[in-house]
């Protein structure tokens, strides 16, 4: 059974990614590492612990990670994020705080330890800035050849960004970390806006969770409705909210959900297009490609898996 680590800036779609992972019997969620972005790192860790408890999995450890990039304080985007994810990151829905605390080990140390323990059986799924993985690579470069796979939510190759025309939110928070990861030689799958803006959720689906009349179902519905409402203002043409982070988990569990293009990527770190994920001119002709960029997705099959896995989990 594949072991999975989720690396989250626990906002609404990150929370849905937790639910998707817990509802997937193909993988075992062995830990959640915390990063900053939608919320401050500490709030994200608090959210992850509470959500794991609410969804019936208090055995999964949560680790504190990097709380800002080399060039930011972690506070920069909180106002915009609060509009999309709520001030607390989970649609301003209140759930009981976990009696647990974070594991004393750091996110980077847990990643390194897990790579050495599980090797190719480990899949690491970051759905926030790539700061923790970059820190782990810097601390122990030997993990580059040992880690199984990295399936990341972030970036955009064939569509514009969502922060500005060049850059997507997760990558924009720490372009240096993204560049380090893309040029590290680690096999990565990029689940970016190319595909995540095709997989949309509406009030129709959240109503099904609410109708379950369980604490988990009502929480997931109320939290996600906040996010759908934000999308109605920021991207009304879409007709729903983007299932960014759960799609990364979906692809990590079942790569056949997407069609990919193999390319050696880099991330621009200078100038107006800082944060852009783009082909690396120096390695374009290298026959060995490190990144598979998802360009097509079987939307209906993914939505079916998403709903059945999460509904199954929230029914209990």
Question: What's the rounded Cα separation, in Å, for the pair 168 and 192?
Answer: 8
Query: For residues 41 and 112, which CB has a smaller minimum distance to ligand BDR in the complex?
Result: 41
Q: Is 127 in the site for Ca ion (CB under 5 A)?
A: yes
Query: For residues 18 and 314, which CB has a smaller minimum distance to Ca ion in the complex?
Result: 18
Q: Is 276 in the site for ligand BDR (CB under 6 A)?
A: no
Q: How far is CA 179 from the centre of its chain?
A: 17
For 7, the token pair is 């690396």
9 catalytically annotated: yes
228 binds, among Ca ion, ligand BDR, none (CB under 5 to 8 A by kind): none
Query: Which residues neighbour 180 within 8 Å (Cβ) at sequence distance 6 or greater?
Result: 130, 134, 137, 138
Q: Is 106 in the site for ligand BDR (CB under 6 A)?
A: no
Q: How far is CA 258 from the centre of its chain?
A: 16
254 catalytically annotated: no
Q: Which stretch, 8-16, 28-36, 265-273, 298-306, contacts ligand BDR (CB under 6 A)?
A: 8-16
Label residues 81-113 b or e (16+ Cβ within 10 Å = b). bbebbbebbbbebebeebeeebbebbbbbbbbe
Question: What's the rounded Cα separation, in Å, for the pair 160 and 162?
Answer: 7
Q: Is 7 in the site for ligand BDR (CB under 6 A)?
A: no
Query: For residues 18 and 265, which CB has a smaller minimum distance to Ca ion in the complex?
Result: 18
Contacting positions for ligand BDR (CB under 6 A): 11, 13-14, 38, 127, 153, 162, 168-170, 244-245
Contacting positions for Ca ion (CB under 5 A): 9, 14, 127-128, 245
Active site residues: 9, 244
């Amino acid at each position: 059974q594949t072991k999975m680590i989720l690396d989250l800036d626990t906002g609404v779609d990150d929370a849905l990614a937790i639910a998707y992972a817990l509802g997937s019997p193909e993988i075992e969620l062995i830990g959640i590492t915390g990063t900053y972005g939608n919320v401050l790192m500490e709030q994200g860790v608090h959210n992850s612990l509470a959500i794991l408890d609410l969804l019936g999995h208090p055995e999964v450890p949560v680790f504190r990670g990097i709380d800002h990039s080399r060039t930011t304080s972690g506070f920069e985007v909180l106002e915009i994020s609060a509009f999309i994810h709520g001030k607390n990151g989970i649609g301003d829905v209140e759930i009981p705080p976990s009696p647990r605390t974070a594991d004393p080990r750091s996110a980077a140390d847990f990643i390194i330890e897990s790579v050495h323990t599980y090797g190719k059986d480990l899949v690491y799924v970051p759905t926030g800035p790539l700061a923790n993985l970059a820190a782990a690579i810097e601390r122990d470069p030997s993990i580059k050849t040992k880690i199984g796979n990295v399936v990341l939510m972030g970036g955009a190759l064939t569509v514009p960004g969502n922060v500005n025309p060049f850059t997507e939110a997760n990558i924009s928070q720490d372009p240096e970390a993204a560049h380090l990861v893309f040029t590290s030689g680690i096999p990565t799958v990029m689940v970016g806006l190319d595909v995540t803006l095709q997989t949309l959720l509406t009030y129709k689906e959240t109503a099904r969770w609410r109708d379950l009349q369980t604490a988990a179902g009502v929480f997931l519905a109320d939290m996600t409705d906040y996010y759908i409402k934000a999308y109605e203002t920021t991207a009304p043409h879409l007709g729903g909210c983007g299932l960014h982070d759960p799609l990364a988990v979906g692809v990590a569990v079942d790569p056949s959900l997407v069609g990919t293009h193999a390319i050696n990527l880099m991330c621009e770190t200078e100038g107006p297009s800082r944060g852009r994920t783009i082909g690396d001119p120096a390695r374009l002709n290298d026959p060995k490609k490190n990144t598979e960029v998802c360009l097509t997705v079987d939307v209906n099959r993914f939505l079916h898996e998403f709903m059945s896995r999460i509904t199954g989990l929230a029914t209990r």
